[in-house]
Structure 1
Amino acid sequence: MSIFADNIRFLRGKRGLSQHAFANDILIISRDRYSKYESGRSEAPYEVLIKISKYFNISIDLLLTVDIRKYPLEDILKLPDNRIVLPVVVDQLGNNSIEIVPQKASMGYLSGYSDPEYIENLQRITLPFLTNGKYRAFPAQGDSMPPFKDGSYIIGKYVENINELKPGNSYVFVTLNDGISYKRLISGNKKSITVSADNSFYKPYDIPFEEIVEVWQYASGIFPEDFEPKIVDNSNIQHILLELRRDVTEINKKLFQ
């Protein structure tokens, strides 16, 4: 019996699923085919491994190499190895390749992020000043990501451990409910994090840890040709400060009268 066979039988039992229900409803394969994986008579192909990994939210590495029955199931996500290892691809000059998730492919990112074929087909660029990490560029969408707008790309550096997140920093969050979103971290607790858009029109909201698929820390941006940074009107700010000064002066006069 293999570790993988023991693990999937254990996890299926924890969810209260029969072999038939798990095989037909979740994996979309026959019960007979699945039963061979649990008995160790056959090895699961990578597409089935990916489905099992996503369903139980446990990395393929752990499923294949660690007897997870020895750990409390609620602590599995805290194990440092419970993550998908992303290979760092470099060009002929040794520069990190940045994978570009195009607008058309972004809708399928949730189902393709762990598919080697999907990632392999993404276009790549290199930026010499981005080193020592795994980088990926995501398309900006909507008006909740200033200064990014449609046509812009947000380059993120892969965050391996959620404990590395720092309040005040911006991240690309890939979640089961929202897909790809660019947000600023406000705070966190044992069960969730609170994030907000840089556009003050949108209210902060919580993201439960179990919904988070990937996190990429903001590293750089790619803007369209017609991009124009927002110009701050200093004269208007000075006018506001003068008005405030006059108001304070008036208040002081009334207090001492």
Structure 2
Amino acid sequence: MSIFSDNIRFLRAKKMATQQETANAVFLSRVRYSKYEDGRSEPPYEVLIRISKYFNLSIDLLLTVDIRKYPLEDILHLPDNRIVLPVVIDREGNNYIEIVTQKASMGYLSGYSDPEYIESLQQISLPFLTNGKYRAFPALGDSMPPFKDGSYIIGKYVENIEDLKPNKSYIFVTLNDGISYKRFKQRKKRAVTVAANNSFYKPYDIPLGEIVEIWQYASGIFPEDFEPDHYENYNLQDMFLEIRKEIRNLNDKIS
């Protein structure tokens, strides 16, 4: 037996479907499907896709995670390319806010769909954040004041890219850049244009195929030494940064 065979047997039982009904749904004979459940055979890729869609569960979870350990109610079903989003809930059924620390962020791209990874994250609960799934990510660098190193940005999961609103801030999880916090500017045919609050950094495009997750800014957790009035000084800092940028461009032209 394998994790895959155990999973599809478990999922079929949850559906209260017979082997014949399941085999018909994925265009297989009952004998061939039963071999997958018994672990006597492994399905080819095209069959895996059909089984994944039938059970509405991603292929990576079907093959690598024993989902019998996790109630199906703890899995949030999503449209498009992301089929499931693992979540952590308390005994009353309330969603925890997982904190992706700077150390944990190094493995987020490989663990975002793994319930065991999500369950291992630190968790908090904020009563004023309801009606959605929230997660906290570390702020890095100086591109999005007033957030700085040591801050955490809490985002609300965005299910559909069409829900992005111009000039609103989002956490973009991408294959190339990992976790980044930027302001959404516009949607293009094959990309989205984003920009930093710090004008020293130029806007750039993120190809749609590189986007793994998007979280809309909901709140922030600041370090102990954070002083809100420093935010008013960023306009002055932006001016100096703009001067530095112009000098750099001038030097480039001269050289």
Fold match (TM-score > 0.5): yes
Measure, in 1, the Cα distance between the counterparts of 2:113 and 2:156: 16
Larger radius of gyration: 1
Count of residue pairs the alignment pairs up: 181
Structure 2 equivalent of residue 155 of structure 1? 154
What is the Cα deviation at residue 88 of structure 1? 4.5
1 CA distance for matches of 2:119 and 2:197?
A: 32
1:167 equivalent in structure 2: 166
Change beyond 3 A, Cα 1:196–1:174:
same
Q: Report what 1:200 is aligned to.
A: 199
The within-5 A match list for 1:91-130 is: 91-92=90-91, 95-130=94-129
Check the 8 A contact 1:98/1:135 in 2, yes or no.
Answer: yes
After superposition, residues 218-229 of structure 1 pair within 5 angstroms as: 218-229=217-228
RMSD of aligned Cα (Å) = 3.4
Is the Cα contact below 8 Å between 1:59 and 1:83 reproduced in 2?
no
Using the size of structure 1 for normalisation, the TM-score is 0.61
The offset of 1:155, in angstroms, is 0.4
Deviations 1:29-77, CA, capped at 9 Å, x for gaps: xxxxxxx89xx92369xxx9xxxx9xxxx999537559xxxxxxxxxxx
Cα distance between partner residues in 2 of 1:215 and 1:173: 5
Cα distance in 2, alignment partners of residues 94 and 116 from structure 1 = 16
Q: Identity of aligned pairs, percent?
A: 70
* Distance in 1, Cα, partners of 2:164 & 2:145: 21
Distance in structure 1 (CA, Å) of the matches to 2:88 and 2:194: 30
Give the corresponding residue for 1:62. 53
User: Relative to structure 1, is the Cα distance of residues 93 and 115 closer, same or farther in structure 2, using a 3 angstrom cutoff?
Assistant: closer
Q: 1:59 to 1:129 in 2, by over 3 A?
A: farther
1:162 to 1:91, Cα distance in 2 relative to 1, 3 A: same
User: Could you give the per-residue CA deviations for residues 10-35 of structure 1, whole angstroms, max 9, x where no partner exists?
Assistant: xxxxxxxxxxxxxxxxxxxxxxxxxx
Unpaired stretches in structure 2, ≥5 consecutive residues: 1-22, 29-35, 58-77, 237-255
CA contact (8 A) 2:26 2:51 kept: no
Query: What's 2:242 paired with?
Result: none
Task: Identify the residue that residue 42 of structure 2 maps to in structure 1.
Answer: 42
Q: Kindly state the Cα deviation for residue 190 of structure 1 after the two structures are TM-superposed.
A: 1.9
